[in-house]
């Protein structure tokens, strides 16, 4: 679990590529670690997952219309900007905790 959390948190700090997949990965790790991610360092990932559960993940994008993808990408860009500071903070907290283990 630690390696996956480090990998996903690092990816989110470096790039917005595969953002939803990385967020959902951290949300799942938080849920596995605490049974629920709420009120933990993984909390923001649960919030984002809930807010964006209607947006297509990487593996389903090929099945979506270009119109739907454009609309989804716009919404995702707004989500990324809205949560950017919280995601950076959470990722740094996760990385620091795992570094000190």
The mean of the pLDDT values for the chain is: 94
Per-residue confidence at 98, pLDDT binned at 50, 70, 90?
confident
Per-residue confidence at 14, pLDDT binned at 50, 70, 90?
very high
| Interacting residues of 30 by C-beta distance below 8 A, sequence separation 6+ | 36, 37, 40, 41, 42, 43, 45, 46
**Is residue 101 pLDDT above 70, yes or no?**
no
**Is residue 2 pLDDT above 90, yes or no?**
no
């Amino acid at each position: 679990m630690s390696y996956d959390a480090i990998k996903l948190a690092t990816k989110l700090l470096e790039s917005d590529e595969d953002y939803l997949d990385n967020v959902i990965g951290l949300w799942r790790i938080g849920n596995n670690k605490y049974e629920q991610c709420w009120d933990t360092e993984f909390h923001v990932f649960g919030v984002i997952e809930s807010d964006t559960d209607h947006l297509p993940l990487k593996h389903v994008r090929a099945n979506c219309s270009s119109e739907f993808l454009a609309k989804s990408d716009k919404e995702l860009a707004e989500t990324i900007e809205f949560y950017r500071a919280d995601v950076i903070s959470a990722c740094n907290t996760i990385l620091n905790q795992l570094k000190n283990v």
